[in-house]
Amino acid sequence: MIQAVGTGDHHHRPESGVPGQRRRRLLLLGAAGLVLPALLPGAARAAGVSRASLTQEGHRTRLALTLDGGLRWELSAQAEPPALLLDLPRGTWHGASSLAAAGCVSALRVANTRTGTRVTLLLTGPIATPRVLSRDSLLMLELRPGGGPAFARMAAAGRLAQSTGPARRPSASLPLVVLDPGHGGRDPGAIGAHGTHEKRITLAVAHELKRQLEAAGFCRVALTRSRDVFIPLAQRVEVARKHQAALFLSIHADSAPPETARHARGASVYTLGETASDALAAALARRENLADKAGGLRLPSVPPEVLSILFSLMRQETRAGSERLARLVVAALDDETTMLPHSHRRAGFVVLKAPDVPAALVELGFLSHPQDEEALGKPAHRARLAAALVQAVQGYLARSQQAALGGAVPGAASP
Ligand SMILES: [Zn+2]
């Protein structure tokens, strides 16, 4: 049985940072019969951070925290001195009060503030937008060195990420991201050497990405399909257009013909091309577009001249957005997984043809390659890919909102 301790109770808990003192005070309170069962050893844990570790791997530094009891947290950055700030409810940090420096973190400090507990990660210099992975009781921040101006903008922008609370509902004013898990139902998509169906991988990645995006709290998310069902390509595009999505991201896994299957591996990103950028891209576009025929449906036939006029009106702006989105996706994935050479390609995918919604299609790897197939079958790998895509989407939306505000960064004037 779990005795819930409301987050409001933190204010009434002992504030001493010394574990021994804390325990003694709790015991005294216990003797008086005032301690909630959840605070006693052996009972369900109260909300708090029970473990913290700081590790370095290559140019990446990771802070991993074990959170108990649905702890609320909020992450922001500070320009001078460069630091990341993790704000928690008061008295909820039970991890070490300091950790050895690692990678781009020179020191970790924990202090009580007027409103809560602040964990300060002092940085050796500016960092890129941190990746935030939040799953069940694990919160992981992954940090990499980055540019000074981008870091200053990040510090000025306020909250970077926060926990999802039961009371918080997605605001209708947040931009909508439409995720499109490729294939489904009677259309399995590519089939791996060991029998993996593309449609299952795309759906698993889309669900994970949706979860991570919603946890990060900067956008709303809709899926073109949330289960194993066939959805015609044109209908997928319509989902994005009807809801005036800020962006559309189609998720796929690749497959190469037998003669190149041994070598072809890695992720790639596609945007709409008037003519496909190479023969491989053209063949792929044909294959993905054939998905409609697999479902026994045809696209409405529109004369090509009419299409071309309609598209040219809106497409220029949409195209610029799509290209920027694709660049961000390539940069984020490049850090996380093997990439196909010439990672950004152009092809005539039907799902990218909304003239008014910036769109990209990501092929997360080759199911025809044994290593790619094995990796894509692993939830941990899919979670890392999703975290990279979160970073790309966040970067895309941040710039779009900035552009909408006339180039001003919110809060840029304040120190
Ligand atoms: Zn596909």
Q: What is the tens place of the pLDDT at every residue in 331-352?
A: 999 988 999 988 899 888 888 8
Q: pLDDT by residue (tens digit) across 298-330?
A: 334 545 554 444 445 556 778 889 999 999 999
Q: Has residue 57 got a pLDDT over 80?
A: yes
Helix (H, G, I), strand (E, B) or coil at 121: strand
Residue 142 sits in the same domain as residue 280: no
Q: Has residue 52 got a pLDDT over 90?
A: no
Residue 165: predicted pLDDT: 55
Report the mean per-residue pLDDT for the chain: 77
Residue 51: predicted pLDDT: 83
Residue 189: predicted pLDDT: 95
* d(CA 101, ligand 1 centre) in Å: 44
* d(CA 187, ligand 1 centre) in Å: 10
Residue 344 sits in the same domain as residue 256: yes
* d(CA 255, ligand 1 centre) in Å: 8
Residue 209 sits in the same domain as residue 111: no
CATH for 110: 2.60.40.3500
- β-bridge mates for residue 118, sequence order: 87, 111
Q: Has residue 177 got a pLDDT over 50?
A: yes
* d(CA 119, ligand 1 centre) in Å: 43
Question: What is the biggest distance separating any 2 CA atoms in the chain, rounded to whole angstroms?
Answer: 84
Residue 275: predicted pLDDT: 57
* d(CA 231, ligand 1 centre) in Å: 13
Residue 190 sits in the same domain as residue 290: yes
* d(CA 198, ligand 1 centre) in Å: 7
Higher per-residue confidence, 212 vs 43: 212
Residue 238 lies in a domain: yes
Residue 292: predicted pLDDT: 54
- Cβ atoms 89, 72 nearer than 8 A: yes
Q: pLDDT by residue (tens digit) across 163-172?
A: 875 444 456 6
* d(CA 362, ligand 1 centre) in Å: 9
* d(CA 134, ligand 1 centre) in Å: 28
Residue 136 sits in the same domain as residue 224: no
Higher per-residue confidence, 161 vs 213: 213
Residue 308 lies in a domain: yes
pTM: 0.55
Looking at residues 355-368, what average pLDDT do you find?
Answer: 92
Q: pLDDT by residue (tens digit) across 60-84?
A: 898 888 887 778 889 999 999 999 9
Other C-beta atoms within 10 Å of 339: how many? Answer: 18
Q: Of 131, 162, 193, which one is at a domain's C-terminal end?
A: 162
Residue 44: predicted pLDDT: 40
* d(CA 215, ligand 1 centre) in Å: 27
Structural domain for 157, as ranges: 45-162
Q: Which of 19, 24, 26 is nearest to 5 (CA)?
A: 26
pLDDT-based confidence at residue 207 (cuts at 50, 70, 90)? very high
Residue 198 sits in the same domain as residue 102: no
Q: Of 138, 162, 186, which one is at a domain's C-terminal end?
A: 162
Residue 82 sits in the same domain as residue 185: no
Residue 316: predicted pLDDT: 74
- β-bridge mates for residue 84, sequence order: 77, 121
Residue 100 sits in the same domain as residue 182: no
* d(CA 125, ligand 1 centre) in Å: 41
Burial class (CB in 10 A: 0-12, 13-18, 19+), 45: middle
Residue 135 sits in the same domain as residue 263: no
Residue 9 lies in a domain: no
Residue 81: predicted pLDDT: 93
- Cβ atoms 261, 368 nearer than 8 A: yes
Q: pLDDT by residue (tens digit) across 270-300?
A: 998 765 455 555 666 666 666 654 443 333 4
Residue 169 lies in a domain: no
Residue 258 sits in the same domain as residue 197: yes
Q: Has residue 30 got a pLDDT over 50?
A: no
Residue 412: predicted pLDDT: 33
- β-bridge mates for residue 369, sequence order: none
* d(CA 74, ligand 1 centre) in Å: 37
* d(CA 56, ligand 1 centre) in Å: 36
% pLDDT > 90, the chain: 40
Residue 22: predicted pLDDT: 36
- Cβ atoms 373, 261 nearer than 8 A: no
Using a CB cutoff of 5 Å, list residues around ligand 1, an ion. Answer: 182, 189, 252, 288
d(CA 327, CA 322) in angstroms, rounded, equals: 9
Instruction: Give the total number of structural domains in the chain.
Output: 2
Q: Has residue 4 got a pLDDT over 70?
A: no
* d(CA 140, ligand 1 centre) in Å: 31
Looking at residues 95-109, what average pLDDT do you find?
Answer: 87
* d(CA 24, ligand 1 centre) in Å: 61
Q: pLDDT by residue (tens digit) across 240-275?
A: 988 889 999 999 999 998 888 888 999 999 998 765
* d(CA 270, ligand 1 centre) in Å: 12
Residue 2 lies in a domain: no
Residue 235 lies in a domain: yes
* d(CA 290, ligand 1 centre) in Å: 10
Opening angle at CA 131, ends 127 and 135, nearest 5:
150
| Tokens 């961000």, residue located | 328
Tokens coding 2: 């779990």
Q: Of 162, 196, 223, which one is at a domain's C-terminal end?
A: 162
- Cβ atoms 291, 187 nearer than 8 A: yes
Q: pLDDT by residue (tens digit) across 389-409?
A: 999 999 999 877 665 554 433
Q: Has residue 192 got a pLDDT over 60?
A: yes
* d(CA 394, ligand 1 centre) in Å: 24
pLDDT-based confidence at residue 49 (cuts at 50, 70, 90)? confident
pLDDT-based confidence at residue 33 (cuts at 50, 70, 90)? very low
Residue 183 sits in the same domain as residue 151: no
Torsion over CA: 180, 183, 186, 188 (sign): negative
Residue 62 lies in a domain: yes
CATH for 305: 3.40.630.40
* d(CA 344, ligand 1 centre) in Å: 16
Q: Which of 135, 114, 319, 120 is nearest to 212 (CA)?
A: 135
Residue 123 sits in the same domain as residue 196: no
* d(CA 390, ligand 1 centre) in Å: 20
Q: How far apart are the first and last CA of the chain?
A: 48
* d(CA 197, ligand 1 centre) in Å: 10
* d(CA 253, ligand 1 centre) in Å: 5
Question: Where are any strands of DSSP class E within 89-175?
Answer: 105-112, 117-123, 131-135, 138-143, 159-162
* d(CA 204, ligand 1 centre) in Å: 14
Residue 98 lies in a domain: yes
* d(CA 172, ligand 1 centre) in Å: 31
Residue 242: predicted pLDDT: 84
